[in-house]
Amino acid sequence: MCATCGCSGAAVIRLVTADELDDHGPHDHGIHEHGPHALPDDDEPIIAGQRDSDRTILLQQKVLAKNDSLAQRNRDWLRQRGILAVNLMSSPGAGKTTLLERTAAELAGRLNISVIEGDQETALDAHRIRSAGCKVVQINTGVGCHLDAEMLANGLQALDPQTGSIVVIENVGNLVCPALFDLGEEARVVLASVTEGADKPVKYPHMFRQADLVLVTKTDLLPYVDFDIRRYAADLRKVSPGAMMLKLSAVTGEGMDSWYDWLRRRTPAPQE
Amino acid sequence: MHELAITESVVEAVTGRLPDAKITCVNLEIGALSGVAADSVRFCFDLVAEGTNLQGARLEISEPAGRCQCRICGEQFDADGPIALCPCGSVEVTIVSGQELKITSVQVA
């Protein structure tokens, strides 16, 4: 079993290409190999003393040190290539894939975007994104409830994004676990749809605390649901004072321009 | 249920550092604001440790309380939940403790 994500060790990376979509569907690009479990370059253990026959050995090691060091490696790799990586997180059904479909279609030819899809099973989302005209890699995590830095490294290798482009990582739909695992992204974007209710920032503070941007989605449904946007904004500010909030509907297009502006502002300048 | 993954990371890290030692006790620090439930780690530990050199080891978890400092008035205060509000009304706070997620030490036979 994978010691980083708790998955069955069978996370599969699928690279969906246009030919495969038209033809026989995606094939397994490679198996999520964990390789030797190298440990971070911490100091050697220090023998602190003895108690009865047992010795105490100080470790002082972060539990997620291995994931964090792999995430930093991803971050360095992305920065060297001037690639903006955005980690998109939400509960299942908040509208991540719909947002990306419209984004890919409307920004085609203006911003170079590719997508890494994370789901427990199926390449359904990858097909949707590919149909919208976007290069995409699907990662299936098996029983895993989140993406980790090693999965992203494998995904980036399969995706081979262009220098100066944007990679959007659609994390596994889950408002809890993905918050803990740094992937090496430049920005964290959390989606919350109006149908989920306005209490999400206070119910899932770990997720919202780390958000750079919060997208309130499905605003076209506001007339039909009990969603107090002022309370939402006030609660979000308590949990995450630095997070920016935008409202949008990927169905009607309302608010999408602000999202595109946010992406454009963060996209690295073209390199010579 | 990321606590299973967290517990496996603990066992893997200890096994990696001390592959040949018989581990009798593992000491962890899991802060109140870390996003990890210490009880769930306790629940998973024996299962995950089975068949490794941590099998049968005791698990001791210290749980540092959440503590914040206000960036407006400078006061430090306890954060009793994950939403930190300074008594002065400010939400501009820095977490100074409670986010620990660390293997502090182990005991070996």
Encode pLDDT of A206-243 as tens digits: 899 999 999 999 999 999 999 999 999 999 998 898 89
User: For residue B107, which amino acid is it?
Assistant: Q
What is the number of structural domains in chain A? 1
**Confidence class for position A145, pLDDT limits 50, 70, 90:** confident
For the entire predicted model, the pTM comes to 0.81
Query: What's the confidence (pLDDT) of residue A251?
Result: 97
Q: What does the alpha-carbon distance between residue B108 and residue B24 come to, in Å, rounded to a whole number?
A: 5
Domain housing A147:
65-266
In a domain, A35, yes or no: no
User: For residue A132, which amino acid is it?
Assistant: A
Task: Spell out the domains of chain B, with CATH numbers in brackets.
Answer: 2-65+98-108 (3.30.2320.50)
Q: Chain A contact for B82, CB < 8 A?
A: yes
Q: What does the alpha-carbon distance between residue A142 and residue A120 come to, in Å, rounded to a whole number?
A: 5
User: Which of A57, A146, A205 has the CB atom closest to B108's CB atom?
Assistant: A57
Query: What's the confidence (pLDDT) of residue A174?
Result: 92
In a domain, A104, yes or no: yes
Which residue stretches of chain A are H helix?
A: 18-22, 65-80, 96-107, 124-131, 149-159, 200-203, 205-209, 229-239, 256-266
Q: Which helix (H) or strand (E) holds B15?
A: helix B2-17
User: For residue A239, which amino acid is it?
Assistant: V
CATH of the domain at A138: 3.40.50.300
> Residue A51's CB: how many other CB atoms inside 10 A?
10
Query: What's the confidence (pLDDT) of residue A36?
Result: 39
What is the mean pLDDT of the segment spanning A111-125?
92
Read off the pLDDT of residues A30-74 as tens digits, 9 standing for 90 and up.
Answer: 434 444 344 444 455 545 544 567 899 999 999 999 899 999 999
Q: What average pLDDT does chain A have?
A: 84
CB contact under 8 A, A180 and B2: yes
The sheet that has A46-51: what strands, in order across it? A46-51, A54-62, B101-108, B23-30, B58-62
The whole-angstrom distance between B85's CA and the closest CA on chain A is 7
More confident residue, B42 or A15: B42
Q: Which residues 187-246 in chain A show a CB within 8 A of chain B?
A: 202, 205-206, 209, 237-239, 241
Assess whether pLDDT exceeds 80 at residue A189. yes
Assess whether pLDDT exceeds 70 at residue A7. no
In a domain, A156, yes or no: yes
Residue of B nearest to A206 (CA): B35
Q: What does the alpha-carbon distance between residue B106 and residue A127 come to, in Å, rounded to a whole number?
A: 48
In a domain, A90, yes or no: yes
The whole-angstrom distance between A67's CA and the closest CA on chain B is 9
